[in-house]
Amino acid sequence: MINYKSYSDSELLEALKSDDRYAFAEIHQRYWEMMYRHALKMLGEEDDAKDVVQELFATLWIKGKNIVINTSLSGYLYISVRNRIINIIHQKNVRRDFQSSLASFAEENRNTTLEQISEKEILRVVEKEIQNLPKKMRNVFELSRNQNLSHKEIASQLDISDKTVKKQIGYAIKIIRLRLDVLTRVIVVLSTLLS
């Protein structure tokens, strides 16, 4: 049997591109603990750190054939872990901000029944959340939704690529949907408490 422990990182990557599970196992063995400690230091929560590292290695195995690494393997893994952690932190911040916004909404409307929460009020909350989007994302989203401009027209007007427009609109929709999902839950809870 081949001794993968003697392989360099670049040799392991080449083997990984050929779906060599033993090469993947050696990469996992070599870097799992290091990536876990890095993630734990940044997140402070064991389960979150384990999830991040598990996702990292799952992606490495699934997309191994197509991954292009312009740095060292360890550098690539560190950057990937950092990016995943930044996404988690961003999601937590968005969630916390939105929960705060919903708490205010619930406080303002605590004496109303579910039937009295009108479509107009829900649209007001949605509009408020659109205004809370990052400025560039909000601008792209509003040009698309309010002025019915195509991706190409928005890209031309803002001097950005069509791809950037598509991504910004996609992200905006995801954020708004997440916030509406939470709003729906709050309305159900309010309905239960007030009935």
Instruction: Give this prediction's pTM.
Output: 0.48
Question: What local confidence, expressed as pLDDT, does residue 113 receive?
Answer: 46
95 domain residue, yes or no: no
147 with 189, same domain: the answer is yes
pLDDT at 10: 87
CATH code of 127's domain: 1.10.10.10
Tens of each residue's pLDDT in the chain, 195 residues: 678 898 988 888 888 888 888 989 999 999 999 999 988 888 888 888 898 899 888 988 888 888 878 788 888 898 888 888 887 776 666 556 655 665 665 555 555 544 455 566 667 777 887 888 888 888 888 888 877 788 888 888 888 988 888 888 888 878 877 777 766 666 666 555 555
Boundary (domain end) residue, out of 54, 87, 120: 87
Statement to judge: residues 81 and 17 lie in one domain:
yes
Query: Can you say whether residue 149 is alpha, beta or left, with left for phi > 0 and alpha for psi between -120 and 50 degrees?
Result: beta
pLDDT of residue 140: 87
Query: Is residue 155 a part of any domain in this protein?
Result: yes
The pLDDT score that the predictor gives to residue 26 is 92
Q: Kindly tell me the burial class for residue 164, based on how many C-beta atoms sit within 10 Å of its own C-beta (0-12, 13-18, 19 or more).
A: middle
In a domain, 116, yes or no: yes
Structural domain range at position 25: 4-87
In this structure, is residue 96 part of a structural domain? no
Confirm whether 97 is domain-assigned.
no
CATH of the domain at 80: 1.10.1740.10
- Same domain membership, residue 128 and residue 77: no
Q: Classify residue 100: in a domain, yes or no.
A: no
Q: Is residue 74 part of a domain?
A: yes
In-domain check, residue 102: no
Total tally of structural domains belonging to the chain:
2
* Res 162: pLDDT: 85
pLDDT value at position 114? 47
Specify the pLDDT at position 193. 57
